[in-house]
Amino acid sequence: MTRKKRTTLRELAESVGVHMSTVSRVLNPETRHLISEAVVEQVLRTARQLNVSPNRNAATLHTGRSRIIGVVQPDIANQVFPPILRGIEDELAKKGFVPLIANAEGGKERQLFVIDQMVERQVDGLILATSGRNDPILEHCLEMGIPVVVVNRSEYSGRASCVISDNQLAMLQAVTHLSELGHTCIAHVAGPSDLSTGYERHRSFLEAIRENGLTIAECPVFESKAFSRDEGRAACDMLLEPHPGITSIVAANDLLALGCYDAIRARGLRCPQDISIVGHNDIPLMDSVAPPMTTVRIPLYEMGVRAAILMLENLDGSTTAYVNVVLRPELVVRESTIAR
């Protein structure tokens, strides 16, 4: 099969009737504003028709930039991440950058391999959604000197910017909601403590119990092995066996909460009549499950946007400080919680 000859920038310029330098400026998002909107529209339309794209390798050699940002996530099936990725992609596109997205599920060795492969492909920076505490992946990136932003997890060392939701406020909202409904025996199905989100939400749950004047001994916690529906069911079973008087559960994410639905139903109990449940994240379709889930909504899309902004500011030198962006969550009350 004969490969179709690539249209050159010179041929594109001749097709439009402008100088080649004008075409070059239009195809570069950083200089596009120097050209009139009418000419920009004409050049881009003709470029699409002729299937013209700049030689990316040549551009990288000339500018020192690939205009590619690596984005590493721990679980491509987790519904938390698509809105974050969309926010990252939309914001990067405004400056002519694109994300290179990789799933790094499968342990630290797999994550290190993914990072090294991205660096070999000359990404300009890395946005990490991996969520381990004391994370060797982050350490590896920092040792290589590549710009890093972490998203949906805290960064305790102060050596990289991060974007998170306020876990302390989220748990306070959830526990206060149940307390105001008259619940005094509130349990927590926690996420794994080796993940920052699991650890912080567990700690914040206990703080919220104290702030509402409840008794820690009557508000037990059981830690799940993973942020999954199956593990939520297993954790809920282990929790209810020695604590049959529990009237409500705050789960560390919506998948764990769905597992609690399953465990309660299997015991012949009803949600919310017997046990009220609150989730966390408000992933898609939580308003469509039975019963529609009361949950803490975190601004996932904005989280991605802010992570991309921090990366771009790092790259253009407009900020050299490490920034912790904490976004405000919102309790969404539906039908899985009722008064006692």
Q: What residue segments make up the domains of the chain, in order of their start?
A: 9-54, 67-165+302-329, 167-298
Q: Is residue 58 scored above 70 in pLDDT?
A: no
CA 186 to CA 178: how far, in whole Å?
Answer: 8
Band (pLDDT 50/70/90 cuts) for residue 60 is low
Q: What is the pLDDT of residues 123-143, one digit of tens each?
A: 999 999 876 676 777 888 888
Q: Report which of residues 301 and 26 the model is more confident about.
A: 301
Q: What share of the chain is helix, strand, coil (3-state, %, to 5)?
A: 45, 15, 40
Q: What is the pLDDT of residues 296-325, one digit of tens each?
A: 999 999 999 999 999 999 998 877 678 899
| The pLDDT of residue 129 | 87
Identical topology for domains 9-54 and 167-298: no
CATH topology of domain 9-54: 434 Repressor (Amino-terminal Domain) (1.10.260)
Q: What is the pLDDT of residues 61-109, one digit of tens each?
A: 445 578 999 999 888 788 899 999 999 999 999 999 999 999 877 777 8
| The pLDDT of residue 52 | 66
Distances (CA, A) of 308 to 18, 21, 78, 82, 303: 34, 30, 20, 14, 9
| The pLDDT of residue 296 | 98
Residues 6+ apart with CB under 8 A from 123: 66, 68, 69, 70, 100, 146
Q: Is residue 57 scored above 70 in pLDDT?
A: no
Distances (CA, A) of 96 to 20, 32, 65, 99: 20, 10, 11, 10
Q: 167-298 domain in CATH 3.40.50.2300?
A: yes
CATH of 67-165+302-329, one of 1.10.260.40, 3.40.50.2300, 3.30.450.20, 3.30.565.10: 3.40.50.2300
Band (pLDDT 50/70/90 cuts) for residue 160 is confident
Residue 189, number of CB atoms within 10 A of its CB: 30
Q: What is the pLDDT of residues 234-257, one digit of tens each?
A: 999 999 999 999 999 999 999 999
Q: What is the pLDDT of residues 265-292, one digit of tens each?
A: 999 999 999 999 999 999 999 999 999 9
